[in-house]
Amino acid sequence: MEIIIEIVLQVFAELVLQILFELGVSGIFEPFRVRFNRYLAIFGYMVFGIISGLLSLIISKQLMIADPDYQKLNILFSALIAGVLMIAIGKFRNPGNMERSETRMLFFCGFVFAFSLSVTRYFLLRSP
């Protein structure tokens, strides 16, 4: 039971960071309405995921999940959930029909952000 609570807390913390980041970025760029290069956007999400992972070390200097096998599963699991959540947020903010490429891009950006955040924390905090 304890491991389930640890996983849920870890995923929740990463999703909150993802939502805050997404709202901040869209709030900054909304007035400009510029189409972005997809590869540059993915790179930016990766960089901000790494930075968020480093900043999260200020809040918590230990991994929330103690079991090393579950830590590795959490990296993929939380990234997949973040990607799906990004699609849901995108559809909520734009209730019209989204193009398939936009949906894939939302998923991939959310996935890359959460994955790089999780991997950064994992490699810096894992026990040798």
> With pLDDT > 70 as the criterion, what percentage of the chain qualifies?
80
Closest CA to 125 of 56, 45, 48, 76: 56
Mean pLDDT, range 106-112, rounded to an integer: 87
Query: What integer pLDDT is reported at residue 128 of this predicted model?
Result: 65
Q: 37: which 2 tokens?
A: 């290069």
C-alpha–C-alpha distance, residues 70 and 89, integer Å: 27
Asked if the model's pLDDT at residue 6 lies above 80, the reply is no
3-state secondary structure of 124: helix
Q: Tell me the pLDDT tens digit for each residue of 44-73.
A: 889 988 998 898 888 888 888 888 888 888
Q: Where are the domains of the chain?
A: 2-125
Sign of CA dihedral 72, 76, 79, 85: negative
